[in-house]
Amino acid sequence: MRSPGHGAATVAAHVPELFLARDACTGQAVSRGAEDPAGPGVYHGAIRVLSKRKRVTPDPIADTAAPLSSQIARRRTFAIISHPDAGKTTLTEKLLLYGGAIHLAGSVKARRAARHATSDWMELEQERGISITSSVLQFDWEGHRLNLLDTPGHQDFSEDTYRTLIAADSAVMLLDNRKGVEEQTRKLFAVCQRRRTPMFVFVNKCDRPGEPPLKLLDDVASELGLPCYPVTWPIERDGRFAGVYDRITRTVHLFEREGHHGGKRAKVQVAELGSGATRDLLGADAHAQLLGDIELLDEAGTEFVERDFLEGRIAPAFFGSALTNFGVEPFLRHFVRLAPPPGPRESSDGTVSPLDPTFTGFVFKIQANMDPRHRDRIAFVRICSGRFESDMSVLNTRTGERVRLAQPQQFMARERRLVEDAWPGDVIGIHDRGSLRIGDTLSADGPVRIENMPRFSPEHFARISVPDPLRRKHLDKGLRQLSEEGAAQVFYATSHAGPEPVVGAVGRLQFDVLLHRLENEYGVKALLQPLAWRHARWVTGSESAIAHAANGHGRTLVYDAARRPLILFDSEWTLRHALQNESGIEFHDVAP
């Protein structure tokens, strides 16, 4: 076991180079002296050990004259993924709290009162206490600008989550310490794995009894094939979660429980592992247990390799409690050093580098009626390269038309502010009059297509109608706009009275949201009639072959908004039978 007392050389040898302090502009590891603008502390090599807790005011980073490379190095664009009820919205709130973006967090317990989570801006989200839309949240932390793409936690909105993950450069996988890897976690991790997204693991709810930490990390490795390198380690004192040990700074962070239910930053005592103060604070038994855990991790734990992390093959792991704020700040501090800045994107014309001075970006989300007073429609654009400037003219490469990007905005959930410029990694909102679609690429110079946003096959279907025939046009308008933003998919079945709308959804909760938004945003009280169809496949081939395939038992033919044909099936057996026996056509589980 390493001796608790150590010098600079020992720490430097223990710490992977990627964890060292980095210059916010260049991203290079730096060796600092005894003083640092971030606050008072003692330094071991490039690692600062806080001698007392002091809130750090981030340096302003709005220097638009800074080189493009400097602006890119400051950005961190990431998403949080989890199974429902793992605490994703709460962690999001606490990151904003520590980043200074909010001063009082609307935690889960506080929802009985007037406060709600900042990221849950839609009325239905606040009523049900769940996240059902993606939110864009931007805040600063110690010279870095963080773009947090908050995703829906409910599995019924996984398609929206998929699109959001495409816009992120890294992801934080949140686990409940009692349950570990769960079903939705596996699905979302698979999306990240396909894209080799760098991954962090945050084990949440450590203030409650749960599985042993080593078992949780072993489950991640065995079930997801993702080894973990624990950066922080939970400390128990008298059977309760008391804080975390930081393996990089070799410091103990002990938190004080207070009566504000996590609404404010947690008070913390920081001490070096080998100090007498640490033994006194922990007690002999807890201190001995911690030393034993550290020895096991140092001698038998996973080795951290930077390349493996950046390619999504190993994950730094952290422990904490978002509800009580325990462990949030150590995570945030290491996250900005580890997470990659915006990187290159593949396109139809080769690789697009963020350092390319030509502006490019893509639309990954469209949200109508964020401001009910103005019935607006916002297209969320992830910037991939170059500098964005307000009122610039760009090419929509799908339509070939020029678009003027006037009054661009950045967001804190529903709250917004006008911006004059933005950089790779940033997300901006553009007022859209209906010309933009999810997946559109915007380029200042020439046609290029960056990302493909597939539409997934729905699993639930319903016929939608309106009792008042005079409201049919309003229904059609609402369905068209909500379909364009991805809230649901709309198909049309042929009938004697004309095209009959059929809505499809990945999960049933999408139907509740659809009805809620139609009534509150478009003034339409619609009725849903559930249908027996369970699977859908887009089909390509001759018109006669498609018609023949659709006439089989347990099948029907519909068309999407782009007039592409789909066949709906009433069971898995019917679908398999068609796939095996129908010739002359091709089946697609995403829109061709």
Burial bucket for residue 222 (CB in 10 Å: 0-12, 13-18, 19+): exposed
* Higher pLDDT pick, 87 / 213: 213
- What pLDDT sits at residue 98? 81
- Comparing 495 with 289, the larger pLDDT belongs to 289
Close Cβ partners of 504 (under 8 Å, ≥ 6 residues apart): 458, 460, 461, 488, 489, 490, 491, 536
Per-residue model confidence as pLDDT tens digits over 42-56: 322 223 333 333 333
- For residue 409, give the CATH number of its domain: 3.40.50.300
Report which of residues 56 and 422 the model is more confident about: 422
Average pLDDT score over the chain = 79
Both 475 and 417 in a single domain? no
| Domain boundary pick from 443, 470, 498 | 443
> Are both 321 and 419 inside the same structural domain?
no
Does residue 587 register a pLDDT over 90?
yes
Do residues 126 and 240 both lie within one domain? yes
* 3-class DSSP state of 358: coil
Residues 372, 274 share a domain: no
416 and 317 in a common domain: no
Q: Does residue 439 sit in the same domain as residue 537? A: no
Residues 329, 357, single domain; the answer is no
Q: Are residues 304 and 355 in the same domain?
A: no
Residue 2 placed within a domain: no
Residues in the chain: 592
Residue 513 inside a domain? The answer is yes
Could you tell me which residue, 108 or 155, shows the higher pLDDT? 155
Closest CA to 569 of 538, 590, 544, 545: 538
Asked if pLDDT for residue 126 goes beyond 60, the answer is no
pLDDT of residue 258: 65
The count of domains in the chain is: 3
Residue that is last in its domain, among 338, 355, 373: 338
Instruction: Report how far residue 276's alpha carbon sits from residue 343's, in angstroms, rounded to the nearest whole number.
Output: 45
Looking at residue 509, which CATH number applies to its domain?
3.30.70.3280
Residues 171 and 223 in one domain: yes
pLDDT of 231 > 80? The answer is yes
* Final residue of a structural domain among 298, 321, 338: 338
Containing structural domain, residue 507:
460-588
Domain contains 453: no
The mean pLDDT of 352-368, rounded to a whole number, is 91
480-490 burial, b if ≥16 CB within 10 A, otherwise e? ebbbbbbbbbb
Average pLDDT over residues 570-576: 94
Instruction: Kindly state whether residue 216 falls inside one of the protein's structural domains.
Output: yes
- Pair 429, 535 in one domain: no
Do 48 and 87 lie in one domain? The reply is yes
- Between 115-129, 214-228, 513-527, the lowest mean confidence (pLDDT) is in 115-129
User: How far is 103 from 111, CA to CA, in rounded Å?
Assistant: 16
The answer to whether position 130 is within a domain reads yes
Same domain, 313 and 435: no
Indicate whether 384 belongs to any domain.
yes
More reliable by pLDDT, 386 or 324: 386
Average confidence (pLDDT) over 554-578? 93
**Angle formed by the axes of helices 509-522 and 472-484, nearest 10°:** 120
Residue 375's pLDDT band, with cuts at 50, 70 and 90, is low
Does residue 448 fall inside a structural domain? no
The whole model's pTM is what? Answer: 0.75
What is the predicted pLDDT for the residue at 1?
A: 36
Query: What is the structure's pLDDT at 262?
Result: 58
Helix (H, G, I), strand (E, B) or coil at 582: coil
The pLDDT score that the predictor gives to residue 370 is: 65
Any domain includes 454: no
